[in-house]
Structure 1
């Protein structure tokens, strides 16, 4: 919005007037005008540091479709940016190699080649003083009936300047699994019931009714306070806990004393009970 400031000039007429302060009567102190306090200049606000742009790579051709993206906060950490750029390059090279190979086979055997695809999108889960927690939803299609969604996760340790997995902070994968398996499976069954419209019987012998091991899937660490990890998420791909049509499962659990008990001593202070 444009703002127009109008200044009105006031003319002081001095004809026949003496602008000087008249002398004070004898015996009284001079009544010189009190100095007017000048306002201190306000500091100029410094512009906020601008995060570097994240990266989004998209390639579409007759052979394949490729997409890979990560956010600005990841790009702002040189070591993490280098790691993700390497993963991007590796993913694209592998996609191109497999696509060319399958195209040759399709032409050789006289059936139509279907362009392959690969995608990965990284997102921030939590940004703590020491840690940047990220998760990725990925997708691959290699010419079959449908593609496949799967997940990845990592923690960037700012103190050590290296990437870790959530599992690295726990005594062992078995210890993590033991601490979260029962509440995880209870939450998973609730989601299964919503999608199936019928109770889940873990004793049915059906693999899609079983209580799966959460530690075998992508584990992400989250935070509601911006200081410590106080929630833990498990991302489950299709076919792992239900039919393909049921899709993926995203189960979030609050951190409990039992979960903290499965954390390595060096990292216990990074967690809190929610």
Structure 2
């Protein structure tokens, strides 16, 4: 699974800005002081997050992995949602694996164990929002498996899951606002991997630009208060050959992007 690319994107979207804060002035010495205790101070208790969840199953029929982080487990309704998705994914994998194993036996060819995996990670943790992304993988006996992505926003005020597009006037408005910078950044990355410029007029489908809003859109923050970055995670075959792998494109929030946000959510974003 190509976890390195996703991990780099999440780190970029979640990293904060370095603020240089001058140190506080040292206090004036007092004329009389109490004796200094040599005893080791006791650590103050801190709030502990509940453990996240990591489920791993491997047998002759299939291999299954599903994980989500402690910050997701700390929200009961979100934990319940992810647990339900876990159970559904495993049940679907088990059913399809049994069907394919039966078909293989019936037709006299070897059965290759299937696999399915999903790993959720925190992109941004804001006062109102928990932004998550997932890298997923599936293999069903063919030449190779397939990586794909998912994303969700947990709205703490409403206690429900949303998508990034839900915060914009429409999916089309989001696409129009980010398409031009996205396509430019995508072409730059494709040219780097191919060793030559991309010609969108070549007629090759892997030279064309794609609709960014049709892929996993994740919202990130550099300040811990507002969303000021947008990430687009693109699976293999969508913008290039399988060998070129996945693409992750990160864009700063601009005035044009802010203009496509629903009025009720404009305060959740800031321009970088």
TM-score of Structure 1 vs Structure 2, range by shorter chain: 0.7 to 0.9
Equivalent residue, structure 1, for 2:213 = 215
Select the residue among 168, 174, 177 that pairs with 2:175: 177
Please name the residue that 1:157 is paired with.
155
Other-structure match for 2:131? 133
- State the shift of 1:140 in Å: 0.1
CA deviation after TM superposition for structure 1 residue 46, in Å: 3.4
Give matches, 1:46-57, under 5 Å.
Answer: 46-57=44-55
Higher relative contact order (CA 8 A, sep 6+): 2
Measure, in 2, the Cα distance between the counterparts of 1:37 and 1:113.
79
Number of residue equivalences: 239
Q: Which residue of 2 aligns with 1:103?
A: 101
CA deviation after TM superposition for structure 1 residue 44, in Å: 6.5
Deviation at 1:45, TM superposition (A): 5.5
Correspondence for 2:244: 246
* SS of the residue 2:248 aligns to: strand
Alpha-carbon distance in 2 for matches of 1:117, 1:37? 67
Deviating above 3 A after TM superposition, structure 1's stretches of 4 or more consecutive aligned residues are: 36-39, 43-46
1:271 matched residue in structure 2: 269
Answer yes or no: is 1:74 the counterpart of 2:81.
Answer: no
The structure with more helix, counted as a fraction of residues = 2
2:131 counterpart SS class? strand
Q: 1:162 Cα shift?
A: 0.4
Match of 2:254 in 1: 256
Q: Which runs of 5+ in 1 are unaligned?
A: 1-35
Residue 50 of structure 1 deviates from its aligned partner by 0.7
Task: Tell me the secondary structure at the aligned position of residue 71 of structure 2.
Answer: helix
Structure 2 distance, partners of 1:243, 1:120, is 23
Structure 2: segments with no counterpart, 5+ residues: 1-31
Name the residue aligned to 1:204. Answer: 202
Structure 1 or 2, whichever has the larger Rg, is: 1
TM-aligned CA deviation for residue 211 of structure 1: 1.1
Q: C-alpha separation between the residues in 2 aligned to 1:267 and 1:205?
A: 40
Q: For residues 44 and 193 of structure 1, what CA distance do their matches in structure 2 show?
A: 57
* CA distance in structure 1 between the partners assigned to 2:46 and 2:169 by the alignment: 40
Matched residue SS, 2:237: coil
In structure 1, the partner of 2:119 is 121
Counterpart CA distance in 2 for 1:129 and 1:44 is 30
RMSD: 1.7
Alignment-derived partner of residue 92 in structure 1: 90
